[in-house]
Structure 1
Amino acid sequence: MSLTTDDTPATARPGPQLGLGGTRSSHRWASVPGNFDKLNCRALWPTDNDWGIPLLPRAEFVPARLVAYTDRHATATAGPGAAVHFFLDDYRFEVVWSKPERGLSRCRTVGAALTPDFSLYRDMPLVMQQWQVYRSRWCGAWLGHHGVTVVPTISWSTHDSYPFAFAGIPTGSVVAVSTVGVWRDPVARELFAAGYREMLDRLNPAVVLVHGKPPTEQVQAGTPVRCFPSRWDGGDR
C-alpha cells in the first residue's frame, strides 16, 4: 500500500508531510494499528539528495559533556551543556527509530543530542548502509522538529559509502564521530583515516566531536577537535 503519491522533486518537498501518531491510546490510532507505519513514512523531511536522506540544519552547539542514551540517571541529571550520545550497540537505542516519541522524551530532558550512530559495516550491502544513514538523519530531523538541539553523527565504511555517508549535512556544521574500536584493527584504522579526510574535504566542519581516543595528527588537518573519552577510556558509562 502506498502512503503517498507525491511526485514533487525531493529538493522541493516540505516536511514533515504528516505527523506521527503517538500511542495506541492516541486519537490518531482510532482506525489503524500501532504498527501501521514501521518505516515512519508519515513524517518525511526536506532533503537535498537523490536518496531522500533528510537535510539537517547546520549545528553550532559544542557540548561540554556527553551522556549515553542508556544511562537514565545521567540523562535525568545531565545539567546544562550536556548532550545525549548513541555510541552504543544498535539494539540499545533502536527504540529511537521504532518508537520515536518514546525515544524523544529522554533527549528532551537533556535538551541536546547527537544523532543515532546506526552501524555501517564494510561488508554490509550498500543499500543497508544507505538505510542506516537515512535512519540516523531522520531521527535527527525528528528530534530537532521537537525542540532538541541536534548535532549530526557521521559514519562511513569504505569509499563506496562516501556518496551517501555525508548526505544531509551542511558544510561548516559541528559534527560527531567515534573512534571506538578503530585502533585495534589496521584495516579499520586505514578506512577511518580515509573517511575522516573525506569528511573534512566535503563538509569542512566547524568542530569535530570525537567519542573515544583522538584521531591521529595526520587526519586532524587543522580542524578543531573536542574529545570525549569513551567508557573504555574511563569516560561515560
Structure 2
Amino acid sequence: MSHELLTVCLPPMEVRAIPEGIGRAMAPFDMNGDHEPWQGEWDAWGIGGSAPFEVRPEAESDPRLIRVEDTPGHSARPPLPPSLCDGGPRRLLDLDTRREAVAARAREDWRTWHDFARAFPPARTMNELRQEFCALHGAGPDDRFRGQFEEQEVIRAITESPAVLALTTGMYDPVQQFAEPEEVHVDRLRSRVNTTDALLTLDGRWLDTSAPSYFAFADAYLLRVPEDCFLVRVRFHC
C-alpha cells in the first residue's frame, strides 16, 4: 500500500463543485466498490499533493484556482505561494515554462557528456557489467564489479573536467544516463514535468506508469485538454 499522485481532468464546472466532480470521476476505481467492470485503484484520496501546478503570470489571484491548505501538523505542506496551485482551468496553468526549461537543460547536459565522452573508447554501463558478472558468479551487490566500471577511461577522466564532474556528481551511471539518443533523452525528461503517477482522463480512463509510453501520452494529453477544463492534483492511497 502506498500514497501516489493523480492528475484528474474534469469538464468545466463551478469551483465549489470540484470535490464532487472528482468524487464522481474516481468512483469507478474505488477499491471498496462493487462497480462492474471492477478496477480498484484507490481507497482514500484528497485534493493536493507534492507536485502543484505553476500558474500563468497575472493569473495568480483568479478565483478559479484551487489551493488546499493542509491541517496544521508536523507533516503539513506549507501554504502554496501565489505562483503555484493544486489545480484550475488549463488556461490558467503554466504547463510550458518549466517543461521547456527542463528540455533545454536535458539537451545541454546530453551534449556536454557526449562532447566529452567521444574522446574515449566506448564505455559499458553498470547494467551490462552486472548482467555479465552475475551470469558467471550469481546475484550479489554491485560493489563486486563497481571497480571494473570505474576503471574505464571515460569514467577515470571525469575528474579532469569540472563541467562533467559537476554534471555527474551523485549520478549512479552517467554512461547509462546518456546512452539514449539526444531527442529520446530530452523527450523523456520533458514528459515528466507535468505528469504524475497516474492520469484520469476526461472520458474516464485511469492510466498509470504500468501502461506502455505512459509519460509521453500523459504529457501530450495534458497539453491538449480544452482550456476551460480543469486539471487537479489528487493524492490517493492504494
Q: What band does the TM-score fall into relative to the shorter chain?
A: under 0.3
**Larger fraction in helix:** 2
Relative contact order: is structure 1 or structure 2 higher (C-alpha 8 Å, sep ≥ 6)? 2
Compute the TM-score of the two structures, normalised by the length of structure 1.
0.19
